[in-house]
Structure 1
Amino acid sequence: MTLSAIEPDEFGWFPYQGFTFSLGLTEGDSAWTSGHTSARHDPALGRMTVEGTMEQQARIAYAKCLAILEGAGFGPEDVTRVSENVTVAGLPAYEDAAGVRRELLGDRPTVRTVVVERLVRRAAWLEVELHAVRGGGRQLRVASEAREAGTWQASSITEGEDGVVYLPTVTPVDEHGDVVFEGDFVSQYRYVLERAGAMLESVGLTLGHAVTTYDYSTPETRAVYRGTHRVRKELLGDNEGSVYPGAGGILMSRLHAPGALVAIDVTASRHPLELVNPGWSRYDTLTYAPGVKAGRTLFMSGFAALDMESQQALHAGDLGRQAEATYGAVLHLLEHAGLGPADLLETTEYCVESAVGDYKAVAEVRERLLGPPWPASTGALCHSLLRPEFLLEVFPTALYPAVETGTGEAHR
């Protein structure tokens, strides 16, 4: 059983053939959509357009994603994880989008909210990405009506396909909604990781089950970011034989609440974790892994244009060449893991806002290096990256093909 592109019979927003991403992918009882905004093709203008209030944009974005899922036989009741990229400009109206989501999906899915600098379509304020499992997966913990420390908004904790457990975005706020440790990035980082650990413990897991920790911080934290190494080593690697999760770090000019210096998305797995490293020695002293295999899923750290031996940033100022080096590293890890481009499940690309004028060069690289069925993909613009020379960082995930058993059933 392999990944298949979702190709709805009707998709009225734009002709979707010919891109280097799929509308969405399906395999067995699971489906993943790419990130979608309210953009639609205007034949009269001959280009994509975005318009409307936040509520109107949210309705269109959700209509697109749900139409994609419907094309693969899934409905709103099957959605287990929602990722919403909301722009800094759209953040004041975000509750309007949240209201649309609750109307359409209720409180069943896990909700992740990433504040991004802006989206590729400048007028777009919201981008939506959905993961679905037939039957809705397992709701491990129902969204609480009372504010919980560490959460920005009420959200459930769900388990999707292949034992993957999704936590909502964790922020440095207490149960009253006040930012903790204001001005102290490392203490806020410890707080969000500890809160993520408490959430996992509430569903029978620990931080030792984490497969990825993707964090979002602000430009001023770059100077003290190294302080997270000690925190991660203590909280994520304190047991003998521990496998550090994959990680990524993205910088935005502001986050969910004034004074918040970090937010984090943690994914965990019920399966044993296996380190996947093609021999890159730089990871020997780091508190994150290039790849983690758990069940049939290969979770990966964020990749950028880095020489893995010298640790030098490559191709300063050239987005196309940086994309080539970035995806080259991803494919090298896939090959080491016995996989190829067709096994790429998801890619999330963060491009520095100042380089967006050259963003087409990334699609040209993807066209040469990747291929059908094309991964489900999401792209957003960030303020900058942890290494100031980087213009692009990619968060990839891959899926091992199911092995057919003698009974004709797929072994997962």
Structure 2
Amino acid sequence: MSKNIVEVDPDKFPWLDLRRYTFSLAAENSGIVYLSGQTASEYDPDPGKVVCKGDLLDQTRVIYEKLGVILDAAGLSFDNVVQTVDYVDPVALPQYRQTGEIRRQYLGGTPVGSTGICVERLLRPDALIEVSAIAMDGEKELVNPYADQFAQVTYVPGVEVDGIIWLSGFIGYEDDNGARKYSRDTNRQVELSYGIISGVLEAAGSVPGDVVKSLDYISPQALLQYPDSAAARRDFYQGSYPAATGIPINRLLRPEGHVEVETIAVKGGSREEIRIPEWDRRYQELTYHPGIKKGHMLHISGQAAVDHTNGESVGGFDMTAQADKAYENIARVLSEAGYSMDDVVNTIEWIAPNGLMGYRGTQDVRRKYFGESFPSATGVIIHQILRPKLLFEVTAVALV
């Protein structure tokens, strides 16, 4: 069964003509709803155009109002939200902590896994923050083995619904007489991150082999050491690697942090590693697989303009050509898993600053691969792609 597009009353967003765009506001399958990233964009009759107005707090309120409208259209509420990600512009960091009170107003006491990251900038130049969300139609269970540490914040270590565990992002640290000490060794930080994740999984009755998706947000200060962190992943996963992506961002909210690790796990059932025969020579050297299928979910590792048969970058510095190759790779993983592009419910497009000028051309690429059945989507500008020649990377999740 292909995804269901959440239809939002056009009167709620009269300025938004979705026919012009290549995303949906939300897409659902199997009771899991992925919402597109939302900024505070609204039509302002004074200048006669769509703008994001106000400071970070003003914009955050508008975003949560918009998320509420989309959730309502899906037959859900904020009580159903299991995970959020905040993408924050660097200029807004001084106010970011204050957004916690706004989250409390809308989320109430419902447990939510969450990650906040500082991107290079957002696609809308007047936007200070963008928020994406995932919601599930089911009973939530709090997973919190670290209750004392999470008493004052608006998120929890993990949330479980129907055997899916949605974890917050974690930066590894050591306890030094009650103070957090962050190692300058990237592999050590990642090792400590997995120690925290292990505690959450254990509290939920899960194991590392249940992790289907891992997303590493990488501080620029860690780029040289980041390849060494493969050792921590090998020790943690013991060969049962997830789909994974590493994204260099502007910085982590914790300035001493090198890498923040965000994961999703699925308990029980069979686990299928999606391998592409012609890609095996390259992937056997890596600590992740092209895709992992477990339960209703298929998570696909970040794909860029790389020919996996030889590991070479393709497309030159043509943004459209690079996006086309990235989506061709996504389609190949889906096909190998027995899925199609119509099963994709969400994409995140990661754009290097030097790719922004050509980004509009990627809309035609999305039309080529998705037709008119667009998933929810978020696009943000990051510090760089791990391979400096690349301008574009995309992650995707499919549901059946």
TM-score normalised by length of structure 2: 0.92
Is the Cα–Cα contact under 8 Å of residues 218 and 255 in structure 1 kept in the other structure?
Answer: yes
One-letter code of the match for 2:104?
R
1:229: which partner in 2?
230
- Contact (CA 8 Å) 1:319, 1:362: kept in 2 or not? yes
Matched, 1:147 2:149: yes
Question: Where do 1:129-278 residues align within 5 Å?
Answer: 129-135=132-138, 137-142=139-144, 146-147=148-149, 154-160=155-161, 163-174=163-174, 176=178, 178-181=180-183, 183-237=184-238, 242-271=239-268, 272-278=270-276
Give, as a single letter, the amino acid of the residue that structure 1 aligns with 2:4: S
SS at match of 1:248: strand
Q: Distance in 2 between matches of 1:194 and 1:117?
A: 29
Q: Could you say which residue in structure 2 is the equivalent of 1:124?
A: 127
Please report how far the alpha carbon of residue 220 of structure 1 lies from its aligned counterpart in structure 2 after TM superposition.
3.6
Going from structure 1 to structure 2, the CA distance change for 1:298 and 1:29 (only over 3 Å counts) comes to closer
Q: CA deviation at 1:44?
A: 5.7
Query: 1:23, CA displacement in angstroms?
Result: 0.5
Distance (Å, rounded) in 1 between the aligned partners of 2:224 and 2:146: 36
Amino acid at match of 2:114: V
Instruction: List per-residue Cα deviations over 1:108-133 (Å, max 9, x = no partner).
Output: 22122232121101221211112222
CA shift digits 1:289-315 (9 cap, x unpaired):
000000121011111110101101122
Tell me which residue corresponds to 1:50: 52
**Structure 1 CA distance, aligned partners of 2:150 and 2:78?**
26
**What SS class does the counterpart of residue 21 from structure 1 fall into?**
coil
Runs of 4+ in 1 over 6 A off after TM superposition: none
Please provide the CA RMSD for this pair: 2.2
Secondary structure at 1:349's aligned position in 2? strand
1:147 aligned counterpart, secondary structure? helix
Aligned equivalents of 1:125, 1:142: Cα separation in 2: 30
Percent of matched pairs sharing the same residue: 28
- Mapped to 2, the partners of 1:152 and 1:77 lie a distance apart of 17
CA contact (8 A) 1:218 1:253 kept: yes
Report the secondary structure of 2:257's partner residue: coil
Amino acid across the alignment from 1:15? L
Retained in 2: the 8 A contact 1:143–1:154?
A: no
Q: Please tell me the residue identity of whatever aligns with 2:73.
A: G
Q: Does 1:114 align with 2:117?
A: yes
- Name the SS of the counterpart of 1:22 in structure 2: coil
Summarize deviations over 1:185-208 as a string: whole Å, max 9, x none: 121111112211122112111222
Distance 1:145 1:52, change over 3 A: farther
Secondary structure of the residue aligned to 1:285 is coil
User: Which residue of 1 is the match for residue 360 of structure 2?
Assistant: 360
State how far apart, in whole Å, the 1-side matches of 2:90 and 2:179 are. 19
Q: CA deviation at 1:90?
A: 1.8
Q: Indicate conservation of the 8 Å contact 1:13/1:40, yes or no.
A: no
Structure 1 residues 369 and 100, CA gap change in structure 2 (3 angstroms): same
Larger mean Cα displacement after TM superposition, 13-22 or 64-73: 13-22
Secondary structure at the aligned position of 1:322 is classed as helix
CA distance in 2 between partners of 1:232 and 1:144 (Å)? 22
Distance 2:292 2:122 in 1: 29
Distance apart, 1:145 and its partner CA = 5.7
Shift in CA distance, 33/13, structure 1 to aligned 2, threshold 3 Å: farther
- Supply the AA of the counterpart residue of 2:376: A
Q: Is the 8 A contact 1:276 1:290 kept in 2?
A: yes
**From 61, 80, 84, the counterpart of 2:63:** 61
Letter in 2 for 1:257: R
Contact 2:29 2:399 in 1 (8 A): no
Q: Which amino acid aligns with 2:193?
A: V
| 1:405 match | none
Task: State the alpha-carbon separation in 2 of the partners of residues 142 and 198 from structure 1.
Answer: 9
Letter in 2 for 1:194: G
Letter in 2 for 1:248: T
Q: Which amino acid aligns with 1:227?
A: D
Q: Which amino acid aligns with 2:265?
A: A
1:323 maps to a residue whose letter is: A
- Distance in 2 between residues matched to 1:188 and 1:13, nearest whole Å: 47
Aligned to 1:328: 328
Deviations 1:252-281 (A, max 9, x none): 232111221111101111133210112111
Question: 2-side partners of 1:104 and 1:331: how far apart?
Answer: 37
CA displacement at 1:66 relative to structure 2: 1.2
Contact 2:172 2:192 in 1 (8 A): yes
- TM-score, length basis structure 1: 0.89
The 1-side partners of 2:283 and 2:247 are apart by 19
Q: Distance in 2 between matches of 1:216 and 1:356?
A: 20
Task: List per-residue Cα deviations over 1:221-276 (Å, max 9, x = no partner).
Answer: 23222212222111112xxxx43101111112321112211111011111332101
The answer as to whether partners of 1:298 and 1:399 remain within 8 angstroms in 2 is: yes
- Take 1:128 and 1:33, find their aligned partners in 2: how far apart are those partners? 9
Check conservation: 1:249, 1:386, Cα contact below 8 A. Answer: yes
> 1:216 is paired with a residue of what secondary structure?
strand
CA contact (8 A) 1:152 1:256 kept: no
The 2-side partners of 1:301 and 1:60 are apart by: 32
Which structure 2 residue ranges, 5 or more long, are not aligned? none
In the TM superposition, residue 143 of structure 1 has moved relative to its aligned partner by: 8.8
2:49 & 2:311 partners in 1: Cα distance? Answer: 41
What's the secondary structure of 1:52's corresponding residue? coil
Query: Does the CA contact (< 8 Å) of 2:39 and 2:127 recur in 1?
Result: yes
